[in-house]
Amino acid sequence: MRLFYSIWNNNRFVFHPFNPIHIDPCSSNPCKNNAKCKINGSNYTCVCDEHFAGDMCQEGNLPKSCDSEPCLNGGACQKVDEGFHCSCTFNYFGERCENAEETTSILNVTDSPITSTDLDTHETDRIFIEIQTRDEETTSESTSRD
């Protein structure tokens, strides 16, 4: 069966074949926790990594120890009473260091004076400042809100 739609044009209806638009069901990124979205007809399926479960990989299925190296992106695993804790490297956060932080450049120093942009600190949990001169190594400073 073919579908048509009509448009009123020059005092008459003009019929055109209807071609449905195919929308990518993965375009809204429905899968959680860095899962891969696979198109399945007009629907999707989330492919979870070993530490997550559920239709959208929203349920944690975390290991109980550091033996399986659960920390991602260079995070260091530390054993605690009932499992583990990941100490994340700069720019990563989350229970397993699975999320990347957005960075905001606030200083730009070249051959001109220091310039800065406003930093919305009321929504910032951690501020990381990196200073590098032409002939020196990078100096870093990190501060956290408590």
Task: Return the structure tokens found at 48.
Answer: 């979870």
Backbone angles phi, psi at 141, to 5 degrees: -140, 135
67 and 97 belong to one structural domain: yes
Q: Looking at residues 82-111, what average pLDDT do you find?
A: 79
User: What does the mean pLDDT of the chain come to?
Assistant: 74
Instruction: State the pTM of this model.
Output: 0.34
Total domains present in the chain: 2
pLDDT at 146 over 70: no
The mean pLDDT of 95-108, rounded to a whole number, is 75
Shared-domain flag, residues 54 and 78: no
CATH number at residue 83: 2.10.25.10
The yes-or-no verdict on residue 51 having pLDDT over 80 is: no
Please check whether residue 79 lies inside any domain of the structure: yes
What is the domain range of residue 47?
24-61
The 8-class DSSP code of residue 140 comes to E
Is residue 40 assigned to a domain? yes
Q: Let me know if residue 140 belongs to a domain.
A: no
Distance CA 101, CA 123 (A): 13
Quick check: is 111 in a domain? no
Q: State whether 76 and 92 are in the same domain.
A: yes
- Would the pLDDT of 115 be above 70? no
44 against 24, higher pLDDT: 44
Q: How many CA atoms lie within 13 A of 126 on its CB side?
A: 12
Query: Average of pLDDT values for 33-37?
Result: 89
Q: Residue 12 pLDDT > 60, yes or no?
A: yes
